[in-house]
Amino acid sequence: MDVLDLSRWQFGITTVYHFLFVPLTIGLSFVVAGLQTAWHRTDDPGYLRLTRFWGRLFLINFAMGVVTGIVQEFQFGMNWSAYSRFVGDVFGAPLAMEGLIAFFMESTFLGLWIFGWDRLPRRLHLATIWLAATGTAISAYFILAANSWMQHPVGYRLDPVSGRAELTDIWAVLTNSTTLVTFPHVIFGAFVTAGAFVAGISVWRLARGKDVPLFRVSARVAMAISLVAAAGVAFTGHWQAQIMTEQQPMKMAAAEALWEDETSAGFSLFAVGDVERGRNRVNVQIPNGLSLLATDTLDGEVEGINDIQARYQALYGPGDYRPVVGLAYWSFRLMIGFGALAGLLALAGLWLTRRGRLPASPWFTRVAVLGIGLPFLANSLGWIFTEMGRQPWTVFGVMRTAAAVSPGADVPEVALTLVGFTLVYAVLAVVEVRLLLKFVRAGLDSEAGPAEPVPALSY
């Protein structure tokens, strides 16, 4: 492997690992805020106990997300300095806003929430968790605005002297059409993730007969959140597919292994392709499905890989503008499949727990616990598809990935940091799982609730 390959592996590993924590943090912050609101409105101590239980798990996840997220920004200077110099004026603006506005907001109000129990008025303390949750969502928006600029660059100009990209319209960057469709998709995905997490743990506690009434409530609330959010993911995914077809047709063509331009194109369910010859040996399709997904019409035209490749060569010069087709194809399908399974699992859970019932079969407990992983797999595969489908571009149509890597980096340096980060992240994963298991097994606080003013992390 050369420096470029190692740098891509390093960024991919650290990004996917960091993104395990982000959706759960966003979704769980709103779940905790909702439970505390229920306690505030009803004065039912059960909601307080649930708030404190899920609040502890949220804080563990938030802390791990912050630790792993710091590495992301360092990598731009370490392995991708050519990219940083080229687009720093543009890319840095939303990242700076994320740090100065969103992260400041979420960390400040989260601190007030942790140490404000029984020290702040109840209404004011409730406001802190809502503001912290809102900060996590705003943070996601700024990060997605920065990433969307790489997918669809707007609001900039290329300096003819320095050759660098310069920001000309920050509003255009923040209201990029790619951001506007990606943000709700990611947020709905975060709620699916949090819903599956809360539901799986609640069902596991129910199977042990501990605090059955309360965990039944949290299980059903979480399943309802997952089901509604899964529908939201599907709708927003449809809009995102249409924007992708318009802005990055090669990514959509690779996702469908569509080699030639087609009208009334079918949605591929299973394909075996021959990349070298640019055709499929086997392709099982839903008739007109891709045209409907990409253009909202049954007979719409969708561009194919071979035709786009020829067009890009005429536009950008000689080169291979195809991503890894097999990876794009299967990551797209598995993302949809795991997300759909999470929604179906939530629907099954709501049916099994209707009218005061409890899940009677041990198999459902096992499936619900295993189902916690479904949204994480869907989220990770979604990011892999989004980033790999854009190749060979770092900034689509402007800067190729090969030109973005640090010119001074060498193979031993990048290999060493790749191994180092991978090992550190493996240790962090063990710490995260052990902490979560410890607090999940500990269960809820005593029924009486906190007698003395204590921070949320106390146990």
Model confidence over 232-281: pLDDT tens digits?
999 999 999 999 999 999 999 999 999 999 999 999 988 888 888 888 88
Q: State the pLDDT at residue 447.
A: 54
Got the DSSP string for 257-272?
T--S-EESPPEEEEEE
User: What is the C-alpha separation between 96 and 138, in angstroms, rounded?
Assistant: 13
User: What is the C-alpha separation between 47 and 459, in angstroms, rounded?
Assistant: 18
In the chain, the largest separation of any two C-alpha atoms, in whole Å, equals 73
Per-residue model confidence as pLDDT tens digits over 157-204: 998 888 899 999 999 999 999 999 999 999 999 999 999 999 999 999
User: What is the C-alpha separation between 290 and 218, in angstroms, rounded?
Assistant: 38
Q: State the pLDDT at residue 147.
A: 93
User: What is the C-alpha separation between 140 and 23, in angstroms, rounded?
Assistant: 9
Tell me the domain boundaries of the chain. Answer: 3-246+324-442
Question: pLDDT-derived band of residue 118, with 50, 70 and 90 as boundaries?
Answer: confident
Query: What b/e readout covers 69-88, taking b as 16+ CB neighbours within 10 angstroms?
Result: bebbeebbebbbbbbbbbbb
Q: Where are the beta strands (DSSP E) in 127-176?
A: 156-158, 165-167
Q: State the pLDDT at residue 75.
A: 80
Tell me if 284 sits within 8 A of 273, measured CB to CB. Answer: no
Closest CA relative to residue 388, chosen from 453, 452, 331, 458: 331
In sequence order, what are the residues at sequence separation of 6 or more whose Cβ sits closer than 8 angstroms to the Cβ of residue 292? 267, 298, 300
Distance linking the first and last C-alpha atoms of the chain: 48
SS3 at position 351: helix
Q: For 168-176, which contacts have Cβ atoms below 8 Å and span 24 or more sequence positions?
A: 170/93, 173/90, 173/93, 173/94, 173/145, 173/149, 174/94, 174/145, 176/145, 176/148, 176/149, 176/152
306 CB burial (10 A radius; 0-12, 13-18, 19+):
middle
User: What is the C-alpha separation between 39 and 36, in angstroms, rounded?
Assistant: 5
Kindly state the DSSP code that residue 445 receives in the 8-state scheme.
P
Listed in sequence order, the DSSP H helices in 164-211 are: 170-174, 177-207
Per-residue model confidence as pLDDT tens digits over 374-416: 999 999 999 999 999 999 999 999 999 999 998 888 888 889 9
Per-residue model confidence as pLDDT tens digits over 341-363: 999 999 999 999 888 777 777 88
User: What is the C-alpha separation between 212 and 207, in angstroms, rounded?
Assistant: 9
The pLDDT of residue 91 is above 80 = yes
